[in-house]
């Protein structure tokens, strides 16, 4: 805390990982002696730079850009760029630290990084966004590269922004290489990237269920969010025989007691992903459902809860309500949707809990596959990519399970994810010696 004053999010992330791997490190003196955790909690590099751009009225605007390169022990730095007014060094250091473990869990050769800017894209014109992205890349280009650091999108950075940044990188360097992932299909992007996080989440939960000798068939599922992750998770869960009964957005949640079907999901994809409508309008189209303004779906009884909207959307009260209503599994589609207290409550109650760094790693895994396709200068078909995603999520589940079994037989996936993610990076660092 003395070394990183005021960086609360970063302190919390390091503390959470440290408490899970404490025992493991104590048993393995070699990690302890080499101060691996302390070294990982000091990013390789924190780059911060000025981004100057001009708005549509001709005003000169000054933003701060960042790239936190946390660890490249097992591959080039990899992690998203976030454009949001809340972005600061603490949040990006926390995300880059977490990303190091998440990427390690995928089994692919990717290190951990994260970056972005306090630029707020909401309400900006396309031209303003383009000018900002070009200015941002005019500095970032010297710090990234296909074998150095490969950023992707995150909040506020979608295919459009990736396009503007990739265009600027190409213009400056005259090199057509996979320096960013999340690209458009006609210029180096990968099939299956869009649905990868939501589908991957369901594959992870399918493995949790299988481990208990169970399946999705006839399970009642509550999902929050109605964005990319939520709608693809709902779609895949329904495909595997579950009954998904809730979705939500920032206006409230919808409860459809009959359950969504593929037709309803199609309507929601058009309405939410294409036209940015409000979820409240669902009940006009499908009157069997009800809309609950400014509420969250966690008081509706279900077997499985999948928070896929935003951070801290399941607090301790929500966790208790879910448990009292008989929930058996909770898995995080969003990043950090459960508060520390809620996670503690689930673990204490021995509810199966899939942490984000494992359960939502499908997105970055397919980004890793985009890097492979770019290096090989070829594109793989959908069938192959779906198979690879399914296999990767199965392997992630196994890594978490094998390191997370407690004395009473409960699988603590959060602990298992931290230990498995740490071990691979730590072993590589040991091999490289002390530098």
List residues near ligand NDP by CB under 6 A.
155, 197, 225-230, 248-250, 308-310, 333-335, 360, 363
The residue of the chain with the least Cβ separation from ligand NDP equals: 227
CB of 25 to ligand NDP, least distance (A): 28
Q: How far is residue 79 CA from its own chain's centroid?
A: 10
Q: Which is nearer to ligand NDP, 310 or 325 (CB)?
A: 310
Please report, for residues 41, 228, 230, the alpha-carbon distance to residue 273 in angstroms, rounded to integers and kept in the order given.
37, 7, 11
Closer to ligand NDP by Cβ: residue 145 or 227: 227
Q: How far is the CB of 396 from ligand NDP (least distance, A)?
A: 13
CB of 247 to ligand NDP, least distance (A): 8
Nearest to 149 by CA among 179, 173, 108, 189: 179
> Minimal distance in Å, beta carbon 22 to ligand NDP?
27
Specify the length of the chain in residues: 435
Tell me how far apart the alpha carbons of residues 84 and 130 are, in angstroms, rounded to a whole number. Answer: 16
Q: Which is nearer to ligand NDP, 17 or 314 (CB)?
A: 314
Question: Rounded to whole angstroms, how far apart are CA atoms 84 and 116?
Answer: 8
Joined together, the tokens standing for residue 339 give 């508060």
How many angstroms separate the first and last alpha carbons of the chain? Answer: 23
Residue 178 Cβ vs ligand NDP, minimum distance, rounded to whole Å: 18
Secondary structure element (H or E) that encloses residue 159, with its range: helix 159-173
Residue 114 designated active-site: yes
State the minimum distance, in angstroms, from the CB of residue 88 to ligand NDP.
16
**Residue number, 309 or 330, with CB nearest to ligand NDP:** 309
Nearer to ligand NDP, 195 or 206 (CB): 195
In Å, how far are 197, 272, 288, 423 from 250, measured between CA atoms?
A: 20, 12, 21, 38
Selected catalytic residue, list 78, 93, 114, 272: 114
Q: Any idea which residue has 């097992």 for tokens?
A: 74
Residue in the structure block whose two tokens are 């941002």: 136
List beta partners, residue 112. Answer: 71
Beta strand pairing status for 60-71 and 112-117?
antiparallel
Give the nearer residue to ligand NDP in terms of CB position, either 20 or 249: 249
CA–CA distance, 87 with 65 (Å, rounded to integer): 9
8 A C-beta contact, residue 136 and residue 51: yes
Q: Min. distance of Cβ 239 from ligand NDP in angstroms? A: 18
Q: Which long-range contacts (CB under 8 A, 24 or more apart) does 170-176 make?
A: 172/137, 172/138, 172/141, 173/141
Q: How far apart are CA 422 and CA 101, in angstroms?
A: 6
Residues recognised as catalytic:
114
């Amino acid at each position: 805390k003395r070394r990183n004053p005021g960086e609360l999010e970063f302190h919390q992330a390091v503390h959470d990982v440290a408490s899970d791997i404490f025992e493991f490190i104590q048993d393995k003196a070699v990690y302890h002696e080499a101060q691996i955790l302390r070294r990982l909690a000091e990013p390789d590099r924190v780059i911060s730079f000025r981004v100057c751009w001009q708005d549509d009225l001709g005003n000169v605007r000054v933003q701060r850009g960042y790239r936190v390169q946390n660890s490249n022990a097992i591959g080039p730095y990899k992690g998203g760029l976030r454009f949001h007014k809340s972005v600061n060094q603490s949040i990006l250091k926390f995300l880059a630290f977490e990303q190091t473990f998440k990427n390690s869990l995928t089994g692919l050769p990717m290190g951990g990084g994260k970056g972005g800017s306090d630029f707020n894209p909401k309400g900006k014109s396309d031209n303003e966004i383009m000018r900002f992205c070009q200015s941002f890349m005019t500095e970032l280009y010297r710090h990234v590269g296909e074998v150095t650091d490969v950023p992707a999108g995150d909040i506020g950075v979608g295919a459009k922004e990736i396009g503007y940044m990739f265009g600027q990188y190409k213009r400056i360097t005259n090199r057509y290489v996979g320096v960013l992932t999340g690209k458009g299909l006609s210029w180096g992007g990968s099939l299956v990237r869009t649905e990868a996080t939501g589908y991957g989440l369901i594959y992870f939960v399918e493995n949790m269920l299988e481990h208990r000798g169970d399946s999705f068939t006839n399970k009642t599922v509550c999902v929050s969010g109605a964005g990319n992750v939520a709608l693809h998770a709902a779609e895949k869960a329904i495909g595997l025989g579950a009954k998904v009964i809730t979705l939500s957005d920032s206006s409230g949640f919808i409860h459809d007691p009959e359950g969504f079907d593929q037709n309803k999901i199609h309507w929601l994809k058009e309405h939410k992903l294409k036209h940015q409508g409000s979820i409240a309008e669902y009940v006009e189209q499908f009157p069997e459902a009800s809309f609950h303004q400014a509420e969250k779906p966690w008081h509706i009884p279900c077997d499985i809860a999948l928070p896929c909207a935003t951070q801290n959307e399941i607090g301790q009260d929500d966790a208790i309500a879910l448990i009292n209503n008989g929930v058996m599994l909770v898995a995080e589609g969003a990043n950090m949707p459960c508060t520390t207290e809620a996670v503690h409550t689930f673990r204490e109650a021995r509810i199966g809990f899939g942490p984000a760094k494992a359960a939502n790693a499908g997105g970055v895994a397919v980004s890793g596959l985009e890097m492979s396709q770019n290096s090989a200068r070829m594109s793989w078909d959908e069938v192959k990519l779906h198979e690879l995603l399914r296999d990767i999520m199965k392997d992630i589940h196994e890594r978490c399970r094998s390191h997370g079994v407690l004395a009473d037989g409960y699988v603590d996936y959060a602990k298992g994810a931290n230990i498995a993610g740490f071990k691979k990076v730590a072993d590589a660092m040991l091999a490289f010696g002390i530098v």
